[in-house]
């Protein structure tokens, strides 16, 4: 067995692990990062950018949101069910973290929000401009994956600080001695065991989105049946399991809910095309929310998760399709292509021919209900009521924006089932505001820290889309907090 010795060990080189490693090294610690894949950045390679409040960029854009205001918004959104001190420390650090990244050479395109609420609900659910979108290295418009430019700079920074990166070297467990974390056992690419010892260990392995058994066990959802979450390969819950094994307290795990089509990336055009404020019903044929809210993926995901069978159906008719093709979609998203309906026929025909299961087309409502598996009586009644309201120009039930009151009357009809989705998992390991791991009695386990998704217990039951960029934001800032504290613990001056 190979023996290694350092000050601070970080388990996994995703966004939070890199932030922790850099922060610890900047504070004088010798750092080793063990990563099981051969690329840094983990899930952040798919992302676009982190949250920050009070950054120079926001000032430049005259965005006046303060850290205190963000903190209060967050706490009201979560009904104070989460650790206020940790939330406070996170937001108050987040603006400076943007500067920290800029000093490394990361460039931001500006600051965005993920969601702008329709006027009628703006008071309750509007998004703040907190999302710092990373400027793609080659220029141009940002899209998914543009955060890789940030990961590159962070990797370079870590190397400059002589952080030792051990790639393809998964950690198996934490070495505990006298109730203290003193190192880890890892396995190098040839399968040889490594015993690495340090004064502090920081866990940052990104949750368990790719571990269906653990999802079932911890959240009750069944992958591929009741939930279709992003399953980023490698997110097996390693860090959470290691922490629990070492005596860490359990914080309830949740899924970061949204909604999507099964295998959505191979049906991306349809994924976007049916995210329109047309008619949305549940399996009984009943509407269940004002459809003008469906761009709010968090709320819609939550709503679908409360429907029978965890599904909903998005339906439009030929007239509406014709309108979408001519004038473009009612709701644009920054994730889907803007010329969705130019490609609709292609993808629709192909997917119908391939028997893509969530979709169907029918000439009559009766046939549609049969094919989609919706209760016919309920659907017929609902459409009748809905069409009457469209004619009257007012949604008496949910007061949906009248611009979207477009009847469902002319066949063929198009229907797409929507499933509960999720970005990943959240939380699991109990930590304090210094990101120190706590046992079930809320006592600190010396030498052990946990950050990022593994320890993200601050969202309550739903992703706080009102303060967008929160997943990456928490990863970066909790990572930095841990790195600084661990270095303080490890380095003797």
Partner 1 sequence: MWLTINDKQIEANEGMSILNAALGAGIYIPHLCGHPDLEAVGGCRLCSVEIDGMEEAVPSCMIKVQEGMKVTVHGPKAERTRKTAMELILATHPADCTGCPKYGKCELQSMYQYLGVGPERWKKKSRTVPTDDSNPLIRHLFTRCVRCGRCVRACRELRGVKVLDFQRTQEGVRIGTGGNISLKEAGCKFCGACIEVCPTGSIMDALGQINEEASYGERVVPCKAACPAHTDIPRYLRYIKEGEYEKATAVIREKLPFPEALGCICNHVCETACKRNELGEPLSICKLKRAAASVHSDDWKKNRKIADSTGKKVAVIGAGPAGLTAAYYLAKKGHEVTVFEINEKAGGQCRYGIPSYRLPDEVMDREIDDILEVGVQLKVNTTAEAPEVLLKQGYDTVLIATGTHKGTLLPLEGNKLSGVILNTDFLKNARRNQIRNLGKKVMVLGGGNVAYDCARTALRLGAEEVHIACLESRDKMTAAAEEIQEGCDEGVILHSGHSFLRITGDTKVQGVELQKVEKFYFDENRKAVIELVEGSREIIPVDHVIFAVGQAPDETEKLGVELNHGFYVKVNSSFATNLPGVYGAGDVVTGTRSVIEAIAAGRQSAVEMDRYLGGDGDISEELLEKETADPFLGRTKDFGNLERLSPPLLDPQERKNSFDAVEQTFTCEEAKCEARRCLQCDLRLNVTNPKLWNEY
State the DSSP string of 51-109: B-SS-HHHHHTT----HHHHHHHHHHHTTT-S-HHHHHHHHHHHHHHHHHHHHHT--EE
Residue matched to tokens 């629990």: 244
Burial 24-59 (b: 16+ CB within 10 A, else e): bbbbebbbbbbbbbeebbbbbbebbbbbbbbbebbe
Q: Is 38 in the site for partner 1 (CB under 8 A)?
A: yes
User: Which residue in 189, 224, 373, 412 binds partner 1 (CB under 8 A)?
Assistant: 189
Interactions with partner 1, residue window 230-289 (CB under 8 A) = 230-234, 236, 263, 265-266, 268
Our CB check for partner 1 shows the closer of 54 and 170 to be 170
Our CB check for partner 1 shows the closer of 155 and 436 to be 155
If one counts every other C-beta atom within 10 angstroms of the C-beta of residue 185, the result is 15
Q: In this structure, is the dihedral angle defined by the CA atoms of residues 216, 220, 226 and 232, taken in order, positive or negative? A: negative
Q: Is 143 in the site for partner 1 (CB under 8 A)?
A: yes
Q: Is 425 in the site for partner 1 (CB under 8 A)?
A: no
Structure tokens at 62: 């005259």
Sequence-ordered strand ranges (E) for 113-206: 131-134, 164-166, 171-177, 180-187, 193-197, 200-203
State the nearest-atom distance from the C-beta of 381 to partner 1, in Å: 39
State the nearest-atom distance from the C-beta of 159 to partner 1, in Å: 7
Count of residues in contact with partner 1, rule CB under 8 A: 44
Residue matched to tokens 């690495």: 196
Interactions with partner 1, residue window 303-342 (CB under 8 A) = 337
User: Which residue in 10, 11, 17, 42 binds partner 1 (CB under 8 A)?
Assistant: 42
Torsion of CA 277, 227, 471, 454, to 10 degrees: 170
- How wide is the angle at C-alpha 214 spanned by C-alphas 208 and 217, nearest 5°? 140
Q: Is 444 in the site for partner 1 (CB under 8 A)?
A: no
Distance between CA atoms of residues 113 and 80, nearest Å:
23
Q: Is 144 in the site for partner 1 (CB under 8 A)?
A: yes
Kindly indicate which of the ranges 82-90, 130-138, 319-327, 372-380 contains the residues binding partner 1, using the contact rule CB under 8 A.
130-138
Distance between CA atoms of residues 294 and 101, nearest Å:
34
Our CB check for partner 1 shows the closer of 249 and 272 to be 272
- How wide is the angle at C-alpha 275 spanned by C-alphas 214 and 50, nearest 5°? 60
Our CB check for partner 1 shows the closer of 14 and 479 to be 14
Q: Is 453 in the site for partner 1 (CB under 8 A)?
A: no
Our CB check for partner 1 shows the closer of 342 and 391 to be 342
For residue 305, the Cα-to-chain-centroid distance in whole angstroms is 17
Q: Is 224 in the site for partner 1 (CB under 8 A)?
A: no
Q: Which residue in 120, 146, 117 sits closest to 46, CA to CA?
A: 146
Interactions with partner 1, residue window 455-474 (CB under 8 A) = none
User: Which residue in 162, 178, 190, 396 binds partner 1 (CB under 8 A)?
Assistant: 190
Q: Checking DSSP bridges between strand 193-197 and strand 180-187, what pairing results, if any? A: antiparallel
Our CB check for partner 1 shows the closer of 137 and 384 to be 137
Compose the 2-31 pattern: x for residues touching partner 1 by CB under 8 A, - for all others. ------------------------------
Footprint of partner 1 (CB under 8 A): 36-43, 45-46, 136-141, 143-146, 148-149, 151-152, 155, 159, 165, 167-168, 187, 189-191, 230-234, 236, 263, 265-266, 268, 337
């Amino acid at each position: 067995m190979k023996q290694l010795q350092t000050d601070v060990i970080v388990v996994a080189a995703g966004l939070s692990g890199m932030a922790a490693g850099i922060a610890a090294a900047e504070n004088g610690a010798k750092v080793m990062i063990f990563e099981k894949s051969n690329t840094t950045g983990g899930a952040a390679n798919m992302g676009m950018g982190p949250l920050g409040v009070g950054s120079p960029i926001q000032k430049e854009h005259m965005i006046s949101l303060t850290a205190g205001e963000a903190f209060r918004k967050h706490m009201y959104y979560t009904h104070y069910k989460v650790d206020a001190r940790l939330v406070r420390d996170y937001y108050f650090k987040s603006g400076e973290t943007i500067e920290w990244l800029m000093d490394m050479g990361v460039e931001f395109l500006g600051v965005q929000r993920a969601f702008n609420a329709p006027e009628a609900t703006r008071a309750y659910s509007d998004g703040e401009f907190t999302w710092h979108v990373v400027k793609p290295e080659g220029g141009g418009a940002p899209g998914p994956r543009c955060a890789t430019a940030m990961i590159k700079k962070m990797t370079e920074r870590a190397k400059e600080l002589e952080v030792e990166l051990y790639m393809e070297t998964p950690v198996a467990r934490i070495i505990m001695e006298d109730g203290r974390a003193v190192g880890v056992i890892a396995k190098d690419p040839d399968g040889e065991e490594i015993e690495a010892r340090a004064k502090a260990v920081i866990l940052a392995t990104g949750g368990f989105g790719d571990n269906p058994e653990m999802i079932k066990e911890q959240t009750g959802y069944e992958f591929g049946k009741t939930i279709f979450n992003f399953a980023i390969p490698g997110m097996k819950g390693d860090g959470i399991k290691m922490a629990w094994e070492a005596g860490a307290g359990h914080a309830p795990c949740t899924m970061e809910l949204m909604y999507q089509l099964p295998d959505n990336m191979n049906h991306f055009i349809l994924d976007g095309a049916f995210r329109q404020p047309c008619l949305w019903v549940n399996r009984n044929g009943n509407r269940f929310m004002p459809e003008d809210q469906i761009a709010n993926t968090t709320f819609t995901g939550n709503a679908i998760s409360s429907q029978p069978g965890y599904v909903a159906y998005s339906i439009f008719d030929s007239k509406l399709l014709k309108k979408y093709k001519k004038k473009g979609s009612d709701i644009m998203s920054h994730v889907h292509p803007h010329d969705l309906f130019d490609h609709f026929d292609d993808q629709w025909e192909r997917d119908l021919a391939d028997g893509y299961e969530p979709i169907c087309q029918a000439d009559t409502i009766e046939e549609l209900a049969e094919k989609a598996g919706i209760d016919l009586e309920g659907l017929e009644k609902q459409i009748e009521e809905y069409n009457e309201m469209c004619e009257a120009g007012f949604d008496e039930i949910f007061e949906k924006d009248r611009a979207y009151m477009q009847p469902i009357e002319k066949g063929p009809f198009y229907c797409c089932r929507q499933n509960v989705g999720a970005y990943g998992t959240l939380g699991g390991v109990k930590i304090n505001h210094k990101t120190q791991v706590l046992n079930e009695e809320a006592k600190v386990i010396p030498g052990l820290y946990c950050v990022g998704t593994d320890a993200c217990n601050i969202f309550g039951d739903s992703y706080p889309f009102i303060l967008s960029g929160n997943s990456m934001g928490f990863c970066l800032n909790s990572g930095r907090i841990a790195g600084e504290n661990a270095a303080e613990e490890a380095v003797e001056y």
